[in-house]
Amino acid sequence: MGRTTQSSRNPGRQVTDPKRKARAKWVGLLSVSVVLMAVLLLSRVRLELPDAPQLEPFDTSQSDPSESSEIAQEPDPEIPDEVVAATAAVVYPPDLKIPILMYHDIGSPAGGLTVTPAMLAEHVDTLKSAGYSTVSLDALLMAMRSEPVSLPEKPVVLCFDDAYANVYSDAYPILKERGFSATLFVITGLVGKQGYVTWEQINELVEAGWTVGCHTARHLDLTTLGSESLRAEIADARAVLQ
C-alpha cells in the first residue's frame, strides 16, 4: 500500500508517495499506447480488405431452358397432361379487357346474392345504352387464346350461377327483350328439383343463344374433398351435360 505524509505547509492535506505517483503515470502512458496500437491495427486491417469482385452480367441469350429442368417444378400428377398442355399454350392478349358480371338469385328482397328483376333490368339497360353487347364465355376463351373469333366493339359476359328457377322465369325475359344472352352454370344433381330450372328450360335457353357451363354435380365445397371425390364431382356433372 502507498504511504501518505502530512504536508508541512498544510497539515490537513494528504500528499501521495512520489514513487506511486510515477508508477501510475507510466501505467497511464502504457494504456494510451496500447489503445493507439489497437486503433492503428484495426485501421490497417480495414484498409487492406480486398475489394468486392466485379461480376460480369450473365448473358441469358445463349442459355438453354432445358438445362434448368432439375429445379423446375414438375406438373401436378393429378392434372391430366392434356389440361397442362392446353393451359401452357394459352397466350393472353395484353389489350383484351372484357367485363364479366355474375349473378345468382333473381328475386325479392335484394341482398346478399339476390338481385331484384328491376335491378337486373337497370343493369342491362345501362350496359346496352353504353354500347355493350353480350358474348358467350366460349367466345371470350377463344379471344384469350388468340383464336379467330368475331367480337363486338364493346363485349360483356353475363353469368348466372346455380341455375335457379327464377333465372328462367325472371332473368331470361329481361335479357331476351334487350337482345342479350348469358352463360348458365348448372348444378346437374339439382336440375328439376324445387327452386331450380328443368332440362326443358335449359334446352330453351340454349336455343335462345345461352351457354351452359358445369357448376359441379351437387354443389359440394370442393376445398373439403379428396382427389377422387373432387374428380367425380366435376367429371360426373360434365358427363351429364355432354
Please report, in tens digits, the pLDDT of each residue of the chain (242 residues total).
444 444 444 444 444 455 555 455 544 544 444 444 444 444 443 434 344 444 344 343 444 434 433 333 444 556 677 766 666 555 556 677 899 999 999 999 989 999 999 999 999 999 999 999 999 988 988 888 888 888 899 999 999 999 999 999 999 999 999 999 999 999 988 899 999 999 999 999 999 999 998 888 777 778 887 888 888 888 888 888 88
Q: What is the DSSP letter of 196?
A: B
Q: pTM for the complete prediction?
A: 0.59
* Helix segments in 92-198, DSSP class H: 117-129, 137-144, 165-166, 172-177
Phi, psi of 75 (to 5 degrees): -60, 150
Other C-beta atoms within 10 Å of 109: how many? 7
Which H helix or E strand runs over 230? Answer: helix 227-241
| Fold (topology level) of 75-241 | TIM Barrel (3.20.20)
CA 104 to chain centre: 24
